[in-house]
Structure 1
Amino acid sequence: MTAGFVTVPERDAIRLRNATVPAALMTGVPPGVPVSPDGLAVVDLAIRDARIAAVLAPTESPLADADVDLQRAQVWPCLIDMHTHLDKGHTWERAPNPDGTFAGALRTVAADRAASWSADDVRRRMDFGLRCSWAHGTRAVRTHLDSMSPQGAITWPVFEELRKQWAGRIELQAVSLAPLQVFGTAEGTEVANRVAAAGGILGAVAFVSPEIDALLDRLLDLAAERGLAVDFHCDESGDVGARALAHIARAIVRRRFAGRAVCGHCCSLAIQPPDVVAETLDLTAAAGISVVSLPMCNLYLQDRVPGRTPRWRGVTLLHEFAARHVRVAVASDNCRDAFYGFGDHDMVEVFREATRLCHLDRPYGDWPRAVTTTPADLMGLSGAGRIGPGLPADLVLFEGRMWSELLSRPQANRVVLRNGRAIERPLPDYRELDDLIRGGPR
């Protein structure tokens, strides 16, 4: 285990001195504290009884025994990962994507699911992923779960069991994942009932078809009847005709759906004609939809043609959505499976790569909220994803001071505080899963 760059005393009351915090992540900047052109402010954080007691202007007074001089190291609230696939994770070694394409991922995962996804297999791989998230400083995770029969009856009880086991450490939410066409059948009602019984979110993969509007109406009605939020996969392709997002927006307005609505991916919007883009952006804003981009997975899968260099990055129009006041988050998506062969459930890596791929710098502005405040709000997590008096002292301390330092190294020696206390943060050993991949790496 990598040692933390600083030692935080085990006390009920401590003060983190000279901490650099993105102003966008504070509930308020203390009077007299300047904010740099890059949106950073240096403050002292007083912590007492597991909560942030005060955010103060830094002082020049001598250090007390319970003071930790961070020397301008950055401090963030614990991170929020609101789009994952924990049930698919860590299967690459037994089920690698043969050609790296989206179609190859679909075929590979379907075969692996049929052959191997027992309750024990799913439980162990999901728990492995959660231990990675915990070690990296993630406070909440939303996972999409393959919910078609017979897998739904296996995986949802496993999720509920893990949610109980991880309560107080990682807040877990689950979303059903099934083709939208399922909601034109009796199985769609069964999926909605299972989701409602587990306190989940109703979700589907939306592709444009002649029946898309009727199917969306049916799904939204099932969600409204059960008081459920919705979370869609849509337009995860480079097909200029993939326009499910606009259909979803119109359906939400048409059905007067009042619950939270999130759409993930929305990749094809980036290659559509300007008039289509403008209309879709306006529809999304009017419907109150929030958007989650998955930059690492989209970069990996989109525009992949064997023997040809990709021509675009696969990401959606984050800046254009934000300009229309659409709430935008970024998340990790798949991890070490056929949809994305890499990753470690580390939201710092996600933000670092999103910054580079999506140009979330110059200025950084509010973009740090995309992995903290915004997903916390979209998941209904009161007080999470921000730093302010009275909020839980769930923090991540990074050695990096300025953005160029924070985002140039992996920050492996970060310190994670939960309820004001530093946690042990060993990452699980891949060898734990060797028996699940039939004897270890090939």
Structure 2
Amino acid sequence: MIQLLVRDVRLRDDATGETSAVDVQVQDGRIHAIAPRGAESVEAETVVEGHGAWLTPPYVEPHVHLDSALTAGEPRWNLSGTLWEGIACWAERKPTLTRDDVVERAERTLRWYAANGTLHVRSHVDVTDPSLVALDALIEVRERVRDVINLQLVAFPQEGICSFPDGEELLTEAARRGVDVIGAIPHFEDTREDGVRSVEFAVDLADRLGLRVDAHCDEIDDEQSRFVEVLATRAARSGLRERVTASHTTAMGSYNPAYSYKLHRIIARSGITMVSNPMVSLHLQGRFDDYPKRRGLTQVKELLAAGVNVAFGHDDVMDPWYPLGTANPLQVALVGTHAAQMLARDEIEETFRMITTRAAAVLGLDEEYGVHVGRPASFLLLPATDGYDAVRRQVRPTHVVAHGRIVAETAPAVTTLTWPGEDPAPVTFAR
């Protein structure tokens, strides 16, 4: 008898794009077999009737800040809506952090993520705090949630590496305590020279310890902020390449066409990945502009066209930088379609990949991701036909399965509609 049988679901072939009706068998937390629907008679401890739902890999969150999640308004609201006031508000909240405070908020946010179908999360954690209380708390959370969510932690120097007292030592200590990724924030450093040095330090530290790099890079409307070229070059020359991620890069929205052309070649050649955070970037950027106001996003479509892997992230969930959020990647994809002007049908489908397979590549999940025999049985059942349909209708997964265990179930929303000339009837809308 197998552990779990999911019957009558549709599975898409990644190579052809075609779907087929299948039954999926799960044993010992991994996908044991994928057979044509009804082809085999199998006994199982648990049976899920898919009713033709689309079975997909889970969502992947490539960029969030769990240490600051759910602190919006503490100790005060960010009234200007700028990145800089957000950093100032967080600097005031940071001294009040405790282990219990961080653990409770992070786990609550991760429960939201799991309910929405996200089973892989990369979280940045501020290490410009000599006590490193948030880091220690999130290392504990990483272990507590591992049976449901794969959590990667980035040592993020929110107030700088070279421009913050003992910044290099704090980043090194964070690496020693067990982070997965080394961060940087070169545009926040005092000088361009400090910014370049901070990138070099972060890449060298990661290279020495066998870790990845994910830098907040050029998150500013200043067209002269050009640290992504430094990061990409260092990634290529160090050999880290696809193990390096440039997050935000919103200054690219202000670069001139000639420099952008050159930069696309540098980035594509380096192999680094990119993460854009459309909801938060739309909110924070362009705040110093009169009209016209900039969108505040990186060059998403152009980077994709150049062969660069780009993913979408949530970034902040109810914190000093963003007062909204439900930890739902489909919302991010929907906003991203508009912000990046990706509204052709194929482009909307691409935004679904930017919160699934493309985001998985950012985290380096490789053979631990995807619906294939032998891989972890972590997947979603979506009442949708494809990524376009899921993004358009913002559908919730009916079932979220993590390592062979059902961790979330959501009943379809039913509306009772009273229509002229007809008796009231409950209907489930596919709008």
TM-score range, shorter chain: 0.7 to 0.9
Is residue 321 from structure 1 mapped to residue 300 from structure 2 by the alignment? Answer: no
Q: Could you tell me which of 223, 246, 260 is aligned with 1:263?
A: 246
- Give the alignment of 1:12-161 within 5 angstroms: 12-19=3-10, 21-24=11-14, 35=17, 41-49=19-27, 50-56=29-35, 70-94=50-74, 95-114=76-95, 116-151=96-131, 153-161=132-140
Equivalent position of 2:151 in the other structure? 172
Q: Could you tell me which of 252, 258, 267 is aligned with 2:235?
A: 252
Q: Percent identity?
A: 24
Q: Could you tell me which of 324, 327, 339 is aligned with 1:342?
A: 324
| 1:187–1:238 CA distance, 2 compared to 1 (3 A) | closer
CA distance in 1, matches of 2:211, 2:88: 30
CA distance in 2, matches of 1:373, 1:56: 23
CA distance in 2, matches of 1:108, 1:337: 9
Q: Is the 8 A contact 1:372 1:385 kept in 2?
A: no
| 1:404–1:374 CA distance, 2 compared to 1 (3 A) | closer
Residue 170 of structure 1: how far off its partner (Å)? 0.9
Q: Is the 8 A contact 2:8 2:53 kept in 1?
A: no
CA distance in 2, matches of 1:229, 1:405: 34
**Structure 1 length as normaliser, TM-score?**
0.81
Residue 261 of structure 1: how far off its partner (Å)? 0.7
Deviations 1:283-320 (A, max 9, x none): 112222110111111111111359x6773332212222
1:104 is paired with a residue whose SS is helix
Is residue 190 from structure 1 mapped to residue 153 from structure 2 by the alignment? Answer: no
Deviations 1:20-52 (A, max 9, x none): x4544xxx56xxxxx4xxxx6243142231433
Q: Is the 8 A contact 1:22 1:368 kept in 2?
A: no
Deviations 1:40-83 (A, max 9, x none): 62431422314334445557999999876645432221111121
Gaps of 5+ in 2: 411-431
Is residue 205 from structure 1 mapped to residue 181 from structure 2 by the alignment? Answer: no
CA distance in 2, matches of 1:47, 1:77: 15
Residue identity matched to 1:119: R
Gaps of 5+ in 1: 1-9, 30-34, 427-442
| 1:416–1:203 CA distance, 2 compared to 1 (3 A) | same
Deviations 1:88-145 (A, max 9, x none): 110114332112222221222222223x222222221111111111222211111111
Deviations 1:389-441 (A, max 9, x none): 22222111122335554223342463212234432469xxxxxxxxxxxxxxx
CA distance in 1, matches of 2:374, 2:41: 26
CA distance in 2, matches of 1:14, 1:361: 37
Q: Could you tell me which of 196, 202, 211 is aligned with 1:228?
A: 211
Residue 276 of structure 1: how far off its partner (Å)? 0.9
Deviations 1:257-302 (A, max 9, x none): 5671111001111221111111111111222211011111111111
Q: Is the 8 A contact 1:127 1:162 kept in 2?
A: yes
- Give the alignment of 1:239-318 within 5 angstroms: 239-255=222-238, 257=240, 260-304=243-287, 311-318=293-300
Which has the bigger relative contact order, CA under 8 A and spacing at least 6?
Answer: 1
1:417 is paired with a residue whose SS is strand
CA distance in 1, matches of 2:363, 2:356: 11
1:407 is paired with a residue whose SS is helix
- Structure with the higher strand share, 1 or 2: 2
Indicate the RMSD between aligned Cα atoms, in angstroms: 3.1
CA distance in 2, matches of 1:54, 1:361: 36
Q: Is the 8 A contact 1:72 1:401 kept in 2?
A: no
Residue identity matched to 1:85: H
Deviations 1:235-256 (A, max 9, x none): 1122211211112223334555
1:383 is paired with a residue whose SS is helix
Q: Could you tell me which of 399, 419, 423 is aligned with 1:415?
A: 399
Residue identity matched to 2:320: A
- Give the alignment of 1:5-16 within 5 angstroms: 12-16=3-7
Residue identity matched to 2:19: A
CA distance in 2, matches of 1:199, 1:342: 28
Aligned length: 401
Q: Is the 8 A contact 2:7 2:37 kept in 1?
A: no
Q: Is the 8 A contact 2:336 2:351 kept in 1?
A: no
**Structure 2 length as normaliser, TM-score?**
0.82
